[in-house]
Amino acid sequence: MQYISQIAFLVVVAVATYFLYKRITQIRKNILLGKAAGRNDNQPDRWKTMLLVAFGQKKMFKRPLPAFLHLLVYVGFLVINLEVLEFVIDGIAGTHRIFAPFLGDFYTVLINVFEFLAIGVLLSCVIFLIRRNVLGVKRFKGSEMKKWPTLDANLILITEIILMFAILTMNATDMLIQGQDEHYAQTGTFFFSQFLMPLFEGLSVSTLILVERFAWWFHIVGILGFAVYVTYSKHLHIALAFPNTWYSNLKPKGEMENMAAITNEVKMMLGMPVENAEEPPAEIGRFGAKDVNDLSWVNIMNAYSCTECGRCTSQCPANITGKKLSPRKIMMDTRDRAEEVGASIAAGGKGLEDGKSLLGDYITKEEINACTSCNACVEACPVNIDPLSIILQMRRYVAMEESGSPASWNSMFQNVETSFAPWKFAPTDRFKWADELNKEPN
């Protein structure tokens, strides 16, 4: 009988691992649809950024209340997972609370800490649900927050609440069993779950064992199932926040990525020496970005790291004033398109050649044209996602491949070319301002 549960446990773990592995491999492929990014420089700064921004949640604290609640869930997630270690050992070895006899009183302390965090997670998730569904905090709304993103957010919160309840139920029934069966490891009193004990009092030992086992299995299967679910969800940020911040842009935010392919062309036009002139020119796909494969892999990882919190959109001057642009939507679209292309390739389909593209079928010109490049979205993102980078690459595609920029921008280009200023003034008038200086008596 005991072996059956051990085998069942191993089967459950194996199935979850299989799906996780498959999914992670697929996401990796999807991210690598993007071009090389060259972000391996300056490693000490990269580790520091990751420690501060992802591990230390530095940017979350611009909004103290959600930051505090999120911190509870985050610490809960990190610490309660230590308990999962015991779950796994018990599951494989067929033991029950294997650490209890070894750790003695300290075990009680540990479980109490876990329970405290479980309560923290539970309360935070309840408040988060209220903020989303009752208070209707504005940044959780928006045109891109359609059925799935809204459901996804609620599913995550509800799952976490249920998982925490499972732990508490398991501990409460365990304490009741301990009172009636001395074969059970004595763990002392757990502060929070003792309040659940009245719910189960009066049940027979066998029923209690059944409830306790059910809660145990529910928790571990729940965690494994949730882990697989996360890879399909916005919740993936719990893992990707770390590499995402490591690969942050460390340069000043105002600096745009230089296009080396164009530098070579310009140099040749101006008769300047070109680096690597002997080498045949690298194959240039297209200028700027039309689809996900024109972006860098960091752009796509950004999209998978986005948890759709909407801080970017809530700070975006275009969005605030009713324009179509929403930086969050840019990221969600990028992820959706990468998923679509990746799934199609995996199924032997047309992939990128499916007649669709990120710009056009997902993101419109109206959206990218509304951007003021103010970097508010980049600044606001708690995990250093850069929606502006994608927007500007798309503008490059529109300007250089389609010549499809707004007419007034085309006139501005013309002015820069012919008058050397974005406005149509005679270049010979450029120094006229000095006349006024000379007019005034000094």
Partner 1 sequence: MAEMAAKGESPEVLFWVGCAGSFDDRYKKVTIAFIKILNKVGISFAVLGEEETCTGDPARRAGNEFLFQMQAMANIQVLDGYNVKKIVTACPHCFNTIKNEYPELGGNYEVIHHSTFLQQLINEGKVGLKGGGEFKGKKITYHDSCYLGRANNIYEAPREVLQALDAELVEMKRCRTKGLCCGAGGAQMFKDAEPGNKEVNIERTEDALATGANVIAAACPFCMTMMKDGVKSKEKEDSVEVLDLAELIAKNEGL
For partner 1, the binding residues in 43-82 under the rule CB under 8 A are 62
Tell me the number of residues near partner 1 by CB under 8 A: 72
Residue with Cβ nearer partner 1 (43 or 321): 321
Residues with Cβ within 8 Å of residue 92, at least 6 apart in sequence? 6, 9, 10
Would you state the structure tokens that stand for residue 143, as one six-digit string? Answer: 């045109």
Distance CA 292, CA 300 (A): 7
Would you state the structure tokens that stand for residue 27, as one six-digit string? Answer: 């996401």
Residue with Cβ nearer partner 1 (158 or 277): 277
Residues with Cβ within 8 Å of residue 389, at least 6 apart in sequence? 249, 257, 296, 299, 302
Using the rule CB under 8 A, which residue among 317, 339, 351, 356 binds partner 1?
317
Stretch that binds partner 1, among 76-84, 89-97, 190-198, 406-414 (CB under 8 A): 406-414
For partner 1, the binding residues in 108-127 under the rule CB under 8 A are none
Distance CA 162, CA 156 (A): 10
Using the rule CB under 8 A, which residue among 263, 285, 343, 353 binds partner 1?
263
Torsion angle in degrees (nearest 10) through CA of 413, 418, 421, 425: -120
CB of 290 to partner 1, least distance (A): 12
Stretch that binds partner 1, among 30-38, 144-152, 241-249, 394-402 (CB under 8 A): 394-402
Using the rule CB under 8 A, which residue among 253, 268, 276, 349 binds partner 1?
253
Using the rule CB under 8 A, which residue among 258, 280, 347, 441 binds partner 1?
258
Distance CA 235, CA 422 (A): 44
For position 422 contacting partner 1 by CB under 8 A, the verdict is: yes
SS3 of 137-196: CHHHCCCCCCHHHHHHHHHHHHHHHHHHHHHHHHHHHHHHHHHHCCCCCCCCCCCCHHHH
For position 268 contacting partner 1 by CB under 8 A, the verdict is: no
Using the rule CB under 8 A, which residue among 130, 262, 284, 343 binds partner 1?
262
Using the rule CB under 8 A, which residue among 25, 180, 207, 373 binds partner 1?
373
For position 191 contacting partner 1 by CB under 8 A, the verdict is: no
Which residue has tokens 């990190």?
78
